[in-house]
Amino acid sequence: MIDIRILLEILLALLGIYFSWYFYRKGKADAYQHLRGQYQRELVNPAKRTVEEIKHKVTVHESVDKKKLEELLSRARDWNSHIIEAVLSDLFTPVNLWNEYLRRAEKIIDEKLTELGLDSYQLNDTLGEEIDRVHGEIHTVRDFLYDIGLYMTGDPGVGGWLTGICIIFKRSGTFASLGAPAGSGQGGRMVQIDGQWIVIARHVEDRAKLFFETVKQEIKGSLLETLGKDLLEACESSLAKIEDVGT
């Protein structure tokens, strides 16, 4: 007959082995979950946010800051995450093309503004003039005239843009007069220049529309729209691959 003490010793030994195995597996699982969570926080989630930001930049026709992509690419290498590294690397070419054609679009605007007769110093001073201030944020002539998205999808009658081009007209002496002072009994669009409200003359507004349409056609004649679509498609593909890695 087996001694009860020996039996207890065997049972205790077995329990010890079981608990050692249990806590080893639990510790291993906890360590994995911790590492997985860290991976999500430090790489997967930032990668998704950055790609979403790129999509937003395309929809509003703004340039993409490549520094974030470069930082994430370095982080992906640190994590030895080859899939995310490849996904981010694939975005560089469409991002570079997008940024390049946005710069070309701005050069088109530069050329058309220069044709109005302001030298570079006068033009730079004029572009820096304040048009409005919303919640403390200053909007200048440059902010409105270089809004690429406005030329792609907008209307030359937008208040800020129309004010901006009229300020350029006034500084360059394009017209002897932009129109009649407000309150003179004449109807039409009004803009405020140098603290005075002016009813824009029809021929001035027509010239503004011509400027807008000329810039719009030249920008649309470039590859900007196509490159934007290509970049959005690349972003969607990247997000799908990042989601697969993160699950």
CA distance 24 to 18: 10
CA 210 vs. chain centroid, Å, equals 29
pLDDT digits (tens, 9 = 90+) for 117-170: 888 899 999 999 999 888 888 999 999 999 999 998 888 887 899 999 999 999
pLDDT digits (tens, 9 = 90+) for 96-113: 999 999 999 999 999 999
Q: Residue 25 pLDDT > 80, yes or no?
A: no
Buried b (16+ CB within 10 A) or exposed e, 196-214: eebbbbeebbebbeebbee
User: How is residue 33 written in tokens?
Assistant: 């979950």
Per-residue confidence (pLDDT) for residue 217, from 0 to 100: 93
CA 96 vs. chain centroid, Å, equals 14
Residue 55: pLDDT band by 50, 70, 90 thresholds? Answer: very high
CA distance 189 to 202: 9
Is pTM, for the whole model, over 0.85? no
DSSP string of 101-148, one letter each residue = HHHHHHHHHHHHHHTTT--HHHHHHHHT-EEEEETTEEEEHHHHHT-H
CA distance 2 to 14: 17
